[in-house]
């Protein structure tokens, strides 16, 4: 075995806080070997980012750090900042999560990359600049000679992250640490960036530490994976055995909790409870309070990380020898939750009533300039002719990259006002000719759940008042209101005693349950969900998704929801509409669209979603789109997708494709796409 | 329910453990209460409970109550009224006949201080509440509604900021000469709300974008209710601090106006005029200044302690930090 290039031993990091010491990292050991990719996976608060910062020596001086971090035999902990500066950037480089704040806004990208070169090498300014151009070309920035003089804000998110990678590899480092490098990015851009990261690693032969919360990302790129929980590594193994044969219940739970693109609608397996507080950790295994296979020993003694099957598969669990193939004592570790099937009898879609009908919806925002005399200098065509309908008891998902107009669409629906152009009809009533009191009345039937439950719940109102607000607004008397609030809290899995607490006292998943309870207060028929689970940790997300599925089945709700995570869509939706630049490019039944995508954009989108399945992920064909979403500020002629499309021909430049039903050689299909060259291509 | 069992209790109580004893006490209180009545408390009830638990705040209320009692009962305890002149005692230090001493012309300082306290307590508190309320209404409506409401409101604010206060006074005061001192309170309020309104306007602009405001709007909650229920409580810390400061400032502002012949006129007195008159002899004849000054300090302190407690009671996070 070769010697590790980076070796971390017994790393301990503590912070002080008002409530007592925060044990962020509690004894972490790992090695990174040359040319290897080590994935570190964990939920928020698991200590993964602190580990990476400690490795770089970037923690604030107030942090207490203990243990050993050695880079090629040289001890890094305890080095002065000056001597660390000589190593950072040259031997070990970092790619941060948020590329906008990682660049200085007042210098050009080129200057900042050239600076990274010049700090460690005695080269002329011109030479450093030409190296910067070379690096930008390497990471796939088009026209690097001119883009080198751009400022960070002139780059899109994906391009900034590429530039960040260019900066990291500027001095051929031995180790690259990437901390959630794709978390803030759209899935198609994520695919681009992951490709660039792999290329950069190839080019430099560096070892890489990839820190992420997304098991799918790890599956495709990592050689070895370490799963962190409660400030420790709880399981570590080469990527294939880890996904195939997890031995620690937490890993097992995490794998069961992620919705998968390649499996249909089954209940996910949530992990009960919330991640532990790092202030008052209980004695014993930190996962014990959430573990279904917990035994007495788990509560008293914390298990060591020891080899299980092979010397390189380590797990920290007292019962890891008993766990095999997700079973313990012949029972699955995590019981499959029971979710009632949709009670809806197989009434034909066409025979069900229309809950919401949107026809030719247009939403434009003016672009203005000047502070005193505002004048309009352009128009953002956010939504540009969208037509869709939601039948009662049906879930329609709208998906697309950020900026495609999906949120604008649902906000326009929620306003219940006459749109600039087109028509919105809710339960048979056109929003254009509603009186103010009609509109208020109609709001009983349509409610909303927002993305970030922390932002959508008034922090100054007790939960009981929050959930009771729609009831109060629509004149339900106080006595009924209290009973209904208690009932709703029970419905979403909280206790009625929680009504007197403030939202700040709940965890993210519980807050989203509160938001859902509020949305259901008036027995609506249509619930609009804006990215309902994207702000939640994976293990918590599963519980909320299951709740949404169960509520729909029990209350016969219709959902109109927006998501960027296609796996979530596959689990929750009956139908899906794929949006691109303010238009729907493909719409239809979920299974049909996902298994037989016709529009090239849908195909690219689906192929960009990483699967938490390493062997399949390695062999999957991936369509990586070039470039970014074009600016929505000019009116388009022809197909909007043509600038990024590999099928584009002359007709695409002149003729706007219409949304047409796909090949109907099979029986009557609920599936339409807008492409001149539509052809089926299986990508999942 | 088949789905996901209830989150285990110890996990839920975790934040309570973090927040320390006060939150734990809150949990205990609610748990026992919830068991007996099984009813959720509204925000008003919850805030009152949290306020009552704050000893300093309750102390402030008691002190303020005592000040009121003293101001209105005190004058009956002495034989002197604030207008009386004792020709046998000029500039005498405190004694058994004149508890707080006398002035240059033989007025009883105790009687004067009590009279001044009456006036200043009412003026201070009323101005604090009225000016902050005007600011809240004008600033929040400007920020929330935008368009012409914003233009009109902000224009009014700018106008009041630009026009000198005394110019307005000079125009209005002849008409107010014989009317009630409540007009004077209103006048003082009009001079003190403008800057606050600008701050509230900008706070509203950012709060308006928050999702919980959208959520309320999509629920069909009327705009004025949204402002009262969601926007203003979320800037309560600022409003309360502003009102507290205004109470003290109003007492002193009143002095300035009185000096120019508006407001409290001799022989009537207020704490402000007493302090203004006594400042010059603060070192030589301290009783002229000390008692009036002392009561002002006690009054402002009591108000700010109450304000602090109220802020902690309204803001769930601030309690967590305080404990």
What tens digit of pLDDT does each residue of A366-414 get? Answer: 887 766 677 777 888 888 888 988 988 889 999 988 878 888 898 889 9
pLDDT at B37 over 60: no
Q: Do B43 and A448 touch (CB under 8 A)?
A: no
Categorize the per-residue pLDDT at B259 as very low, low, confident or very high, splitting at 50, 70 and 90.
low
Residues A25 and A43: their CA atoms lie apart, in Å, by 14
Token pair for B161: 């900021």
Classified as helix, coil or strand, A327 is strand
Classified as helix, coil or strand, A525 is coil
| Portion of chain B with pLDDT greater than 70, in percent | 83
- Contact call for residues A425 and A399 (beta carbons, < 8 A): no
- Would an 8 Å CB–CB cutoff place B43 in contact with chain A? yes
Distances (CA, A) of B231 to A91, A512, A600, B208: 51, 21, 46, 7
Q: Do A469 and B216 touch (CB under 8 A)?
A: yes
Classified as helix, coil or strand, B249 is helix
In this predicted model, which residue has the larger pLDDT, B100 or A528? Answer: A528
- Would an 8 Å CB–CB cutoff place A567 in contact with chain B? no
Q: Do B30 and A459 touch (CB under 8 A)?
A: no
Categorize the per-residue pLDDT at B16 as very low, low, confident or very high, splitting at 50, 70 and 90.
very low
Distances (CA, A) of B252 to A31, B117, B248, B266: 70, 13, 7, 16
pLDDT given for residue B197 in this prediction: 93
- Would an 8 Å CB–CB cutoff place B30 in contact with chain A? yes
Token pair for A551: 């509520």
- Would an 8 Å CB–CB cutoff place A469 in contact with chain B? yes
Q: What is the pLDDT of residues B141-175, one digit of tens each?
A: 999 998 889 999 999 999 888 888 777 777 777 77
pLDDT at B8 over 50: no
Q: What is the pLDDT of residues B168-187, one digit of tens each?
A: 777 777 776 666 677 878 88
Residue of B nearest to A278 (CA): B18
From A235's Cα to the closest Cα of chain B, the distance in A is 24
ipTM above threshold 0.85: no
For B296-313, b where at least 16 C-beta lie within 10 A, e where not — what string? beebbebbbbbbbbbbbb
Instruction: Measure CA B320 to chain center.
Output: 24
pLDDT given for residue B22 in this prediction: 34
pLDDT given for residue B27 in this prediction: 36
Phi, psi of A386 (to 5 degrees): -105, 130
Residues 227-266 of B with CB under 8 A from A: 229-230, 233-234, 236
- Spell out the alpha helix ranges (H) of A227-361: 239-244, 249-257, 296-300
Residue of A nearest to B2 (CA): A338
- Contact call for residues B267 and B277 (beta carbons, < 8 A): no
The mean-pLDDT minimum among A390-394, A641-645, B84-88, B208-212 falls in B84-88
pLDDT given for residue A330 in this prediction: 65
Return the ∠ at Cα B48 (arms to B47 and B50), rounded to 5°: 65
- Would an 8 Å CB–CB cutoff place B316 in contact with chain A? yes
Residues 196-225 of B with CB under 8 A from A: 210-212, 214-216, 218-222, 225
Which residue spans within A102-231 are E strands per DSSP? 175-179, 207-212, 224-229
Residues A563 and A565: their CA atoms lie apart, in Å, by 5
Classified as helix, coil or strand, B268 is coil
Q: For chain A, what is the largest distance between any 2 Cα atoms, rounded to a whole number of angstroms?
A: 78
- Would an 8 Å CB–CB cutoff place A292 in contact with chain B? no
pLDDT at B227 over 50: yes
Classified as helix, coil or strand, A562 is strand
Classified as helix, coil or strand, A88 is strand
Classified as helix, coil or strand, B133 is helix
- Would an 8 Å CB–CB cutoff place A505 in contact with chain B? yes
Categorize the per-residue pLDDT at B59 as very low, low, confident or very high, splitting at 50, 70 and 90.
very high
- Would an 8 Å CB–CB cutoff place A514 in contact with chain B? no
pLDDT given for residue B134 in this prediction: 93
Of B43, B210, B211, the CB nearest to A465: B43
Q: Looking at mean pLDDT, say which of A152-166, A383-397, B99-113, B254-268 comes out highest.
A: A383-397
Classified as helix, coil or strand, A397 is strand
Residues A494 and B7: their CA atoms lie apart, in Å, by 7
Size of interface A-B (CB pairs under 8 A): 160
Residues B120 and B253: their CA atoms lie apart, in Å, by 11
Q: Do B40 and A277 touch (CB under 8 A)?
A: no
pLDDT given for residue A470 in this prediction: 92
Residue ranges of chain A with per-residue pLDDT less than 70: 1, 264-265, 326, 329-331, 339-347, 370-372, 663-669, 684
Residues B255 and A179: their CA atoms lie apart, in Å, by 62
- Contact call for residues A558 and A388 (beta carbons, < 8 A): no
From A524's Cα to the closest Cα of chain B, the distance in A is 11
Residues A46 and A50: their CA atoms lie apart, in Å, by 9
pLDDT at B135 over 90: yes
Residues A299 and A154: their CA atoms lie apart, in Å, by 53
Categorize the per-residue pLDDT at B1 as very low, low, confident or very high, splitting at 50, 70 and 90.
very low
Helix count and strand count (H, E) for chain B: 16, 0
Residues of A in contact with B37 (CB under 8 A): none
Residues A214 and A229: their CA atoms lie apart, in Å, by 14
From B313's Cα to the closest Cα of chain A, the distance in A is 10
* Chain mean pLDDT for chain B: 78
């Amino acid at each position: 075995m070769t010697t590790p290039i980076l070796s971390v031993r017994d790393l301990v990091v503590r912070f002080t806080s008002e409530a007592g010491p925060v044990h962020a990292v509690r004894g972490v050991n790992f090695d990174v070997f040359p040319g290897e990719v080590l994935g570190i996976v964990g939920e928020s608060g698991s200590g993964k980012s602190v580990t990476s910062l400690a490795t770089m020596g970037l923690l604030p001086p107030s942090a207490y750090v203990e243990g050993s971090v050695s880079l090629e035999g040289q001890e890094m902990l305890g080095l002065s900042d000056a001597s660390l500066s000589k190593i950072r950037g040259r031997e070990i480089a970092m790619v941060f999560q948020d590329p906008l704040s990682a660049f200085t806004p007042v210098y050009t990208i080129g200057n900042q990359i050239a600076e990274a070169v010049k700090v460690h090498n005695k080269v002329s300014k011109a030479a450093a600049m030409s190296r910067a151009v070379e690096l930008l070309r390497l990471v796939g920035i088009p026209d690097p000679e001119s883009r080198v003089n751009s400022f960070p804000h002139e780059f899109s998110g994906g391009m900034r992250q590429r530039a960040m990678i260019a900066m990291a590899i500027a001095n051929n480092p031995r180790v690259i640490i990437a901390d959630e490098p794709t978390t803030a990015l759209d899935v198609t851009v994520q695919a681009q960036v992951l490709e660039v990261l792999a290329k950069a690693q190839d080019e430099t032969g560096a070892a890489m530490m990839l820190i992420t919360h997304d098991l799918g990302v790890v599956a495709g790129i990592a050689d070895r994976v370490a799963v962190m929980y409660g400030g420790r590594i709880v399981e570590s193994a080469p990527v294939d055995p880890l996904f195939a044969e997890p031995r620690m219940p937490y890993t097992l739970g995490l794998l069961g909790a992620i919705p998968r693109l390649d499996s249909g609608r089954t209940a996910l397996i949530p992990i009960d409870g919330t991640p532990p507080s790092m202030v008052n950790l209980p004695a014993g295994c930190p996962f014990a309070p959430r573990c279904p296979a917990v035994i007495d020993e788990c509560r008293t003694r914390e298990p060591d990380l020891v080899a299980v099957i092979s010397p390189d598969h380590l797990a920290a669990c007292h019962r890891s020898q008993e766990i095999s193939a997700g079973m313990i004592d012949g029972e699955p570790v995590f019981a499959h939750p029971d979710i009632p099937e949709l009670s809806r009898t197989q009434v034909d879609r066409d025979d069900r009533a229309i809950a919401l009908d949107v026809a030719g919806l247009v939403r434009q925002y003016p672009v203005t300039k000047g502070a005193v005399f505002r004048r309009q200098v352009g128009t953002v065509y956010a939504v540009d002719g969208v037509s869709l309908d939601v039948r009662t008891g049906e879930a329609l998902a709208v998906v697309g990259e950020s900026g495609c107009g999906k949120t604008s669409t649902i906000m326009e629906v929620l306003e219940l006002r006459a749109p600039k152009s087109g028509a919105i009809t809710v339960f048979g009533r056109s929003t254009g000719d509603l009186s103010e009191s009609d509109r208020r009345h109609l709001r009983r039937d349509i409610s909303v759940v927002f993305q970030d439950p922390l932002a959508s719940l008034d922090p100054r109102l007790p939960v009981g008042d929050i959930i009771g607000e729609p009831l109060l607004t629509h004149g339900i008397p106080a006595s009924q209101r209290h009973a209904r609030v208690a009932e709703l809290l029970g419905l979403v899995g909280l206790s009625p005693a929680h009504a007197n607490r403030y939202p700040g006292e709940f965890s993210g998943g519980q807050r989203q349950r509160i938001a859902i309870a509020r949305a259901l207060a008036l027995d609506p028929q249509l619930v609009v969900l804006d990215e309902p689970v994207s702000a939640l940790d994976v293990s918590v997300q599963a519980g909320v998704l299951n709740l949404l599925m169960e509520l729909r089945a029990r209350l016969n709700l219709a959902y109109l929801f927006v998501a960027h995570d296609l796996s979530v869509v596959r689990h929750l939706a009956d139908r899906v509409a794929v949006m691109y630049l303010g238009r729907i490019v493909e719409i239809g039944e979920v299974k049909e669209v996902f298994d037989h995508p016709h529009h090239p954009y849908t195909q690219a989108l689906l192929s960009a979603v990483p699967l938490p399945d390493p062997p399949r992920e390695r062999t999957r064909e991936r369509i990586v789109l070039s470039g970014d979403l074009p600016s929505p500020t000019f009116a388009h002629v022809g197909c909007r997708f043509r600038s990024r499309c590999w099928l584009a021909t002359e007709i695409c430049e002149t003729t706007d494709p219409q949304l047409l039903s796909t090949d109907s050689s099979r029986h009557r299909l609920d599936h339409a796409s807008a492409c001149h060259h539509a052809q089926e291509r299986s990508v999942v | 329910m088949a789905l996901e069992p209830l989150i285990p209790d110890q996990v839920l109580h975790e934040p309570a453990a973090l927040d320390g004893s006060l939150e734990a006490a809150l949990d205990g209180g609610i748990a026992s209460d919830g068991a007996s009545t099984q009813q959720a408390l509204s925000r008003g009830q919850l805030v009152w409970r949290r306020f009552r638990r704050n000893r300093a705040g309750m102390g402030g209320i008691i002190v303020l109550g005592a000040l009121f009692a003293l101001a209105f009962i005190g004058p009956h305890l002495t034989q002197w009224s604030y207008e009386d002149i004792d020709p046998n005692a000029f500039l005498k230090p405190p004694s058994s006949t004149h508890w707080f001493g006398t002035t240059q012309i033989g007025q009883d300082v105790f009687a004067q201080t009590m009279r001044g306290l009456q006036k200043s307590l009412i003026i201070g508190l009323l101005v604090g509440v009225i000016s902050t309320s005007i600011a809240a209404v004008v600033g929040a409506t400007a920020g929330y509604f935008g368009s012409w409401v914003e233009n009109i409101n902000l224009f009014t604010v700018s106008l009041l900021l630009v026009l000198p206060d005394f110019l307005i006074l000079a125009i209005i005061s002849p008409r107010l000469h014989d009317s009630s001192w409540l007009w004077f309170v209103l006048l003082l309020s009009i001079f003190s709300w403008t800057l606050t309104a600008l701050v509230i306007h900008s706070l509203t602009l950012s709060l308006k974008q928050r999702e919980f405001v959208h959520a309320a709007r999509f629920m069909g909650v009327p705009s004025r209710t949204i402002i009262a229920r969601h926007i203003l409580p979320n800037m309560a810390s600022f409003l309360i601090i502003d009102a507290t400061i205004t109470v003290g400032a109003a007492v002193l502002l009143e002095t300035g106006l009185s000096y120019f012949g508006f407001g409290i006129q001799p022989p009537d007195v207020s704490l402000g005029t007493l302090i203004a008159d006594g400042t010059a002899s603060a070192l030589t004849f301290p009783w002229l200044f000390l008692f009036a000054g002392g009561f002002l300090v006690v009054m402002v302190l009591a108000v700010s302690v109450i304000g602090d407690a109220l802020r902690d009671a309204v803001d769930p996070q601030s309690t967590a930090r305080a404990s």
